[in-house]
């Protein structure tokens, strides 16, 4: 963990946080692949629809464990390290397990409203589902532009913040 005071660190820019999420999704593909393989091998799942809901619950827990472990140990997942972003409490301290778990649950606000709207409106095709998810994600990201510090809603509710570990470059002194 970088030993820099919380007051001196700027908030992570929205574009960096969104790029970090895309990279995180690619890394999580591997995590979910391995956890799905373990689940289906250990339970001798022969068909994808058998134990489907149990496997979804298992993978939800695996994702939660992944995020809570990284957030409580270093404040950074692998993708966050790449993008030099760190999760901290609003007062600059380290995030605890309860706060990290709550943040994980509330971070599903990115997707759940769009999924509920799609279900409520009877949208069943992949295209309609993809559009509703993209619209929901875009709306959630845009909401951060209205919140103090341009935080995401789940960070605001959990009293956490994402900071950029590398301070922006200082302007060169004026010559003359």
Question: For the chain, what is the mean pLDDT?
Answer: 87
Q: Say if CB 3 and CB 165 are below 8 A apart.
A: no
Please tell me what DSSP assigns to residue 2.
-
Q: Both tokens of residue 44?
A: 């001798």
Q: Nearest 5°: CA angle at 73, between 143 and 100?
A: 35
Q: Both tokens of residue 170?
A: 């200082």
pLDDT tens digits along 116-171? 887 788 877 777 777 777 888 888 888 999 988 889 999 999 999 999 997 667 78
Which residues are CB-contacts of 12 (< 8 A; sequence separation ≥ 6)? 20, 83, 85, 162, 163, 164
Q: Say if CB 33 and CB 66 are below 8 A apart.
A: no
Choose among 111, 102, 113, 114: nearest CA to 155: 102
pTM for this predicted structure: 0.82
Dihedrals phi, psi of 175, to nearest 5 degrees? -100, 145
pLDDT tens digits along 68-119? 999 999 999 999 999 999 999 999 999 999 999 999 999 998 888 887 887 7
Q: What is the mean pLDDT of the segment spanning 3-31?
A: 85
């Amino acid at each position: 963990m970088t030993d820099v005071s919380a007051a001196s660190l700027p908030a992570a820019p929205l574009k960096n946080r969104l790029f970090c999420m895309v990279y995180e999704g690619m890394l999580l593909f591997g995590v979910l692949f391995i956890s799905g393989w373990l689940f289906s091998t250990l339970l001798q799942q022969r068909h994808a629809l058998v134990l489907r809901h149990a496997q979804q619950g298992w993978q939800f827990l695996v994702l939660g464990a992944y995020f809570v472990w990284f957030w409580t140990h270093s404040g950074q997942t692998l993708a966050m390290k790449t993008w030099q972003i760190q999760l901290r409490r609003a007062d600059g301290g380290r995030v605890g397990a309860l706060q990290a778990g709550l943040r994980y649950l509330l971070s599903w606000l990115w997707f759940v409203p769009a999924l509920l709207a799609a279900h409520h409106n009877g949208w069943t095709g992949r295209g309609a589902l993809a559009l509703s998810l993209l619209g929901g994600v875009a709306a959630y990201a845009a909401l951060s532009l209205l919140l103090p510090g341009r935080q995401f809603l789940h960070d605001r509710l959990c009293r956490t913040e994402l900071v950029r570990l590398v301070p922006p470059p200082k302007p060169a002194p004026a010559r003359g």
